[in-house]
Amino acid sequence: MQEHYYELSVKVSSHHNLYADFLADTLPIGFEEIDGGFVIRSEDNLETIVWGLEQFTEALQKALGQDIEIECQQKQLENSDWVESYKNSIEPLAIDKFYIHPTWSEANPNLINIAIDPALAFGTGHHPTTASSLRAISKYVQEGDKVLDVGCGSGILGMAAMKLGAVVDACDTDPISVENSIKNAKLNDLEFHSIWEGSATNLDQKYRIVVANIVADVLTFIANDLKNALDKDGILVLSGILDKYETKVLNYYKDCEIIEKIAQEEWVTLVLKIKEK
């Protein structure tokens, strides 16, 4: 083991999920999500990652026509302290019926436990979009439901539905996310009914619950796919939406009624149902 390791703290002013996707695709290692940003740790210097983040920010600003602030700070730390420091930084979290905890901490005997290995997970329940999606799942998923998790990430939302007795399919365009979802499910003695790399286009199956915690722009692009996957009287859970983009997203779901809106910080999760004709 090397004497030192590097810790890179990244703060971004907006589009947190897009940066999480970029890091998931770019890094050969895991990273920690924190409020407003990320922490990356490696025995290798992370200046190349800083450069990549700056290039990504520049391209994102041009594509969106918006200013995005990013701050990167790298420190060199004693390697002997890093494992315990990392473990101490990941705290268990209670969200409605669920208790999300790292693999090294104790389960909660009074809640439904989901163990997550943060080294494998890019969604641990601490981000508002994941937390509000878990609240929706806690309220609307029933035993025996067929559930589809689109953009499954760490698999945490699908696992929550399985813990409530649902049969869950999942997909993600990122193969690393699919692999991590499978591994995290095994940690919890769970198994997806079906999980694949790709999208929710042209599915034969219909679902009572379709969950998509992605980003606002993608939710507009795949609106028809998500609605087509719904069974009659099915429920659609859309998350990853900054409140300022709520109207933009809803313009693509005008044939749906809002059952519930769950707001946390500047993020919104929408629970929708297709209107009866």
Domain coordinates in residue numbering, the chain: 4-88, 90-274
The residue that leads in pLDDT, 126 or 94, is 94
pLDDT, residue 227, reads 96
Alpha-carbon gap, residue 113 to 98, rounded angstroms: 6
Q: 93-118: per-residue pLDDT in tens?
A: 899 999 999 888 899 999 999 998 76
Span 247-260, average pLDDT: 96
Asked whether 63 and 57 are in contact (CB, 8 A), the reply is: no
In Å, how far are 12, 80, 112 from 71, measured between CA atoms? 7, 27, 37
Q: What is the pLDDT of residue 154?
A: 85
The residue among 210 and 87 whose pLDDT is bigger is 210
> Is residue 153 helix, strand or coil?
coil
User: How big is the chain by its Cα radius of gyration, in Å?
Assistant: 19
Average pLDDT, the chain: 89
CA distance 146 to 235: 11
Distance separating alpha carbons of residues 232 and 229, to the nearest angstrom? 10
Tokens of 153: 């990430």
Three-state DSSP class for 117?
A: coil
Q: CATH classification of 90-274, choosing from 3.10.180.10, 3.30.450.20, 3.40.605.10, 3.40.50.150?
A: 3.40.50.150
Lowest mean pLDDT among 90-94, 159-163, 215-219, 252-256: 90-94
Give 145-201 pLDDT, tens digit per residue.
Answer: 999 999 998 899 999 999 999 999 999 988 888 998 999 999 999 999 999 999 999
Q: Is the pLDDT of residue 125 over 80?
A: no
The torsion of the CA quartet 182, 188, 191, 195, rounded to 10 degrees, works out to -30
pLDDT at 88: 66
Burial of residue 139, with CB atoms counted within 10 A of its CB: 0-12 exposed, 13-18 middle, 19 or more buried: middle
Tokens of 204: 């034969």
pLDDT at 91: 78
Among candidate residues 245, 45, 224, the one with its CA nearest the CA of residue 129:
245
Q: HSE, CB side, 13 Å, CA atoms: give it for residue 261.
A: 13
CB 69 within 8 A of CB 86: no
Residue 121 pLDDT > 60, yes or no? no
CATH 3.30.460 corresponds to the domain 4-88? no
The answer to whether 211 and 149 are in contact (CB under 8 A) is yes
In what helix (H) or strand (E) does residue 122 lie, and over which residues does it extend? none
pLDDT of residue 261: 96
Tokens 């993020």 -> residue:
267
Give residue-wise pLDDT tens across range 1-38. Answer: 567 888 999 999 999 889 988 888 788 777 888 888 99
Per the DSSP assignment, residues forming a β-bridge with 33 are: 38
**Region of 151 on the Ramachandran plot (φ > 0 left; ψ -120 to 50 alpha; else beta):** left
Structure token digits, residue 12: 């971004």
The CA distances from residue 219 to 122, 167, 183, in Å, are: 19, 23, 26
DSSP code of 137?
H
